[in-house]
Amino acid sequence: MKKRYRTTAIVGVVFAGLLVYMMLQQRGRVTEKGEYFSLQLADISQIQVQAKDYKYTMARRGEEWWITQPFEGLMAKDTAKQVVQAIAALKPQKREGKNLQDPEFGLDAPQVTVTVTYKGNRTAVIRLGKQSPLGSMVFSTISNEPTALFLINQSFLSDVDKDPETMREKKLVADLKTDAVKQITIQRGDETVTAALVPLAKETTWRITAPRPLKADKAAVEAATFGLSGAEAVAFMPYTQENLATTGLDKPRLTITVTHEGSEPTTIYVGGEGKHAVETAATAPGETAGTTDEAIIYATCEGRPEILMIRAPLFTELNKGVLDLRDKHILQVKQDEIDSVRAQREQGLNFSMMKSGQEWQVTAPKTGKASSTAVSDLLFALIDLQALAYPVENGAEADLDEYGLNLPQATITVGTANRGKPITIWIGAKVPNETERYYARTSLATDVYEIDGGLLRGLPETTNSLIAPAGATGANGVLPGMPAGMPPGMPPMAPPPGGPGGP
């Protein structure tokens, strides 16, 4: 009973907290006593700042703030909020009966002039003059009360007197976080691939959903989304038709659409390559600072009329197709699922081994405890066997003679405890004009793969490399009652599908 009441109380507290949060979100900021304007942030629509070194205009567009002068560019969200918040919560100290023309105040040539548009078309002009003897305050006027002198905290001056270039949103996709990405589509030329998080069993997993359903390589997909979430501009260019053509963005090499939690899908365009001059500091006495060229790519986002220059490695991270993002593991088994292996070759050692308990035993051509090194190397090569290319896939007919798979040079049979039926791998001819690539096929599918020659090269060549030396840990001879050359439960060597000569 007590436990039930405690649970009910916890739920009640959580609900109350959520209710307060929602009310505050709807209500906006809570104004404080002494604020001059007492504005909500959404009440302010435009801010113009004229300073001695900088001049800029920022305007609200929906939920975003944009610099509109001296250039057009998206503002960093936190930077924009800092400026808007400084005005909305401004708390000046009023002084009546002062001569505003007194040079002491410096208001005839103010350091900064801020013009605020709020609540529709209402405007206010704030002029910031000299620093007061109090040190932390600045003499000021506000146009709503033209005869009054105000003292405004020095921090307000720091909040608004900024170089507009430093206020830009440098991230290619603002607010994008890798763990919030739900789907990514990459189009390059005529090829388009989509990967999405899909519910599967008890968890969500990455799957390729287009051009056809395939298991995705989680690491490859997340490398692309990670590159996208971390991409930042090193410089910007105006969004003009001339610049779009010059940077290749009129005919982008990549078009990427990313869907992330809590936001609408964002489309990114990646154009050509270029160079950007980067200042270099002197590193030793007598040296002078200089510049060096840095390789960049040009990119832009739909609905964001500015061109971003981003370091060139991003292109490699995003230039992915189906082959790059699909899971290319051929066997799709885990190491602890394999309980027997048999290899038969035209040239080289033929052997078989099986797992007994936690140990492996060689059963042919000799019998004995298997070398732990040989076993671990072989199992790793099998579970990590990946396709480098797919000459034939998706149910297409294959002329196996063309790939040397009617009479394969090697046949490897892998037994797995939970599948019942062993998996057979046939390795055929070398791929023309390729170093150490071979055609291969398995009993799991009709696809023909290109694989690296590492699996063939790694097969044991002698019984000495296969069987643990006498006296070594784990070497204890033949398993009692085991037929020589044949692991229990493993069927005779299976020819390729279609009979002794293959399909």
Whether residue 170 contacts residue 155, with contact meaning beta carbons closer than 8 Å, is answered with no
Are 69 and 136 in a shared domain? Answer: yes
- In a domain, residue 363? The reply is yes
The pLDDT assigned to 471 comes to: 62
pTM: 0.80
Which residues in the chain show pLDDT less than 50? 1-3, 5, 7, 9, 11, 13-26, 474-503
* Cα-based torsion angle of the residue sequence 471, 474, 477, 480 in order, rounded to the nearest 10 degrees: 150
The pLDDT assigned to 349 comes to: 95
- Residue holding tokens 């097969």? 459
Preceding amide of 70 cis, omega within 30: yes
Report how far residue 353's alpha carbon sits from residue 474's, in angstroms, rounded to the nearest whole number: 15
Are 182 and 320 in a shared domain? Answer: yes
Distances (CA, A) of 270 to 208, 241, 252, 473: 22, 15, 5, 58
Are 154 and 265 in a shared domain? Answer: no
Strand partners, 311: 296
User: Which of 125, 140, 167 delimits the end of a domain?
Assistant: 167
Are 339 and 457 in a shared domain? Answer: yes
The one-letter amino acid code at 62 reads G
Beta strand segments in 8-83, E: 44-51, 55-61, 64-69, 73-74
In sign, the C-alpha dihedral spanning 21, 24, 28, 32 is: negative
Q: What angle do CA 62, 235, 80 make, to 5 degrees?
A: 30
The sheet carrying 448-452 orders its strands as: 368-369, 359-364, 351-356, 338-345, 410-416, 423-430, 437-442, 448-452, 387-392
User: Which of 123, 143, 167 delimits the end of a domain?
Assistant: 167
Take residue 418 and report the two structure tokens written for it. 């939970």
- In a domain, residue 36? The reply is no
Are 132 and 213 in a shared domain? Answer: no
Instruction: Tell me which residue range forms the domain holding 405.
Output: 335-466
Report how far residue 380's alpha carbon sits from residue 361's, in angstroms, rounded to the nearest whole number: 17
Are 107 and 232 in a shared domain? Answer: no
Are 118 and 246 in a shared domain? Answer: no
Pairing of strands 64-69, 448-452: unpaired
The one-letter amino acid code at 224 reads A
Phi first, then psi: give them for residue 293, nearest 5 degrees: -85, 130
Are 339 and 310 in a shared domain? Answer: no
- In a domain, residue 487? The reply is no
- In a domain, residue 475? The reply is no
- In a domain, residue 3? The reply is no
The pLDDT assigned to 472 comes to: 61
The total number of structural domains in the chain stands at 3
- In a domain, residue 100? The reply is yes
- The model's pLDDT over 97-135, given as tens digits with 9 standing for 90+, comes to 899 999 999 999 999 999 999 999 999 999 999 999 877
- In a domain, residue 378? The reply is yes
Are 364 and 225 in a shared domain? Answer: no
Q: What is the CATH number of the domain that holds 133?
A: 3.30.1490
Report how far residue 362's alpha carbon sits from residue 487's, in angstroms, rounded to the nearest whole number: 9
Report how far residue 265's alpha carbon sits from residue 379's, in angstroms, rounded to the nearest whole number: 42
- In a domain, residue 438? The reply is yes
Are 212 and 349 in a shared domain? Answer: no
H or E segment to which residue 77 belongs: helix 77-88
The pLDDT assigned to 201 comes to: 75
DSSP structure string for 346-365: SSS--EEEEEETTEEEEEES
Are 271 and 384 in a shared domain? Answer: no
Whether residue 102 contacts residue 89, with contact meaning beta carbons closer than 8 Å, is answered with no
Are 342 and 449 in a shared domain? Answer: yes
